[in-house]
Amino acid sequence: MGVLERILENLIARLDGPLHFRFVFQPLVATILGVVDGVKDARAGKPAYFWAVLSTHKSRGELVGKGWRSIGKVFIFAIILDSVYQMEVHSTIYVGELLIVAFALAIVPYLIVRGPANRIVRLFRGHAVSPKIADVTPRHSRKT
């Protein structure tokens, strides 16, 4: 069996094996944290998080650091639980699989939810347009 086949087989086996509750619990916690941070971003008038990380070169490190402070504990918890699972089932730890599972259960849901939560809150609060753009008066709106 090749490495990729083993990884795929082991990842699928986790869905029904011991500690399978984490496949609901950890993404749920990450999602809640993403929504909370998205709402905070909206109230502060900040752009969608993931887009800001990708497009803002100057403050990328600061943005990633703030995101890590929010989701880091859930990521570490995902690593611990997958380590326990692997030791119980395989009697060894496959680091690659460990990182894949922790990333999928903690980081991905957080990133997927934070930006849309920001946009939804801004839409309902009437701030769908960026504050910088909203302050600009169109040229053609002069009184005649």
Q: How far apart are CA 67 and CA 38, in angstroms?
A: 11
* Residue 95 located in a structural domain: yes
* Residue 5 located in a structural domain: no
User: What is the predicted pLDDT for the residue at 139?
Assistant: 46
As for how many domains the chain has, the answer is 1
Residues contacting 126, CB < 8 A, separation 6+? none
Q: Which residues of 35-70 are buried (b: 16+ CB within 10 A; e: fewer)?
A: bebbbbbbeeebbbbbebbeeeeeeeeebeeebeeb
pLDDT tens figures, 110-139: 999 999 999 999 998 875 545 444 444 444
* Residue 38 located in a structural domain: yes
Mean pLDDT along residues 72-80: 93
* Residue 11 located in a structural domain: no
* Residue 91 located in a structural domain: yes
Residue 131 or residue 25, greater confidence: 25
3-state secondary structure of 125: coil
> Is-above-0.85 flag for pTM?
no
Cα 42 to Cα 49, 94, 106, 121: the distances in Å are: 10, 39, 22, 6
User: What is the predicted pLDDT for the residue at 3?
Assistant: 82
Q: Which domain holds residue 60?
A: 17-126
CB 105 within 8 A of CB 22: yes
* Residue 113 located in a structural domain: yes
* Residue 63 located in a structural domain: yes
Q: How far apart are CA 103 and CA 94, in angstroms?
A: 14
pLDDT tens figures, 52-61: 888 888 889 9
Q: Report the run of H or E that residue 70 belongs to, with start and end.
A: helix 60-90
User: What is the predicted pLDDT for the residue at 15?
Assistant: 85
* Residue 114 located in a structural domain: yes
